[in-house]
Amino acid sequence: MAKFSYTILYVRNVAQSVAFYEQAFGLKQKFIDESGQYAEMETETTTLAFAANDLAKSNLPQGFQENSRSSLPTGMEVGFVTDDVAAVFKIAIETGADIVVEPKVKPWGQTVVYVRDLDGILVSINSPM
């Protein structure tokens, strides 16, 4: 059986993405490779990592769909859970995220909001279940 251990987001600028996720969501940098092409964040659970688009291109010779604010988001999201959705949403927007869907209470009682990060990656901010 395989164990889920990390998610890598391919981005234009790794250092910029690290700074955004630190400011917007309160994550801390675990490490950034001296090349600046790869970084990991402290999340207390599964590793969230960033890799430069150029690194992705070297790993995926057939190509891939780059994340972009000017295109629709890709078919995935990164999710964060917080007791104060409104506060984290406000900070994310002030840090540069784009609003996708304003906070909404789902039928099961969870508050959910969607934003896009600096590379257009879809991020959900959620209250606990």
Count of structural domains, the chain? 1
Under-50 pLDDT residues of the chain: none
What per-residue confidence (pLDDT) applies to 60?
Answer: 92
What per-residue confidence (pLDDT) applies to 128?
Answer: 95
Provide the residue range defining the domain that includes 74: 6-126
Task: Report d(CA 81, CA 129) in Å as an integer.
Answer: 9
What per-residue confidence (pLDDT) applies to 72?
Answer: 94
Query: Is 119 contained in some domain?
Result: yes
The enclosing domain of 25 has a CATH number of 3.10.180.10
What per-residue confidence (pLDDT) applies to 46?
Answer: 86
Tell me the pTM: 0.91
Query: Is 41 contained in some domain?
Result: yes
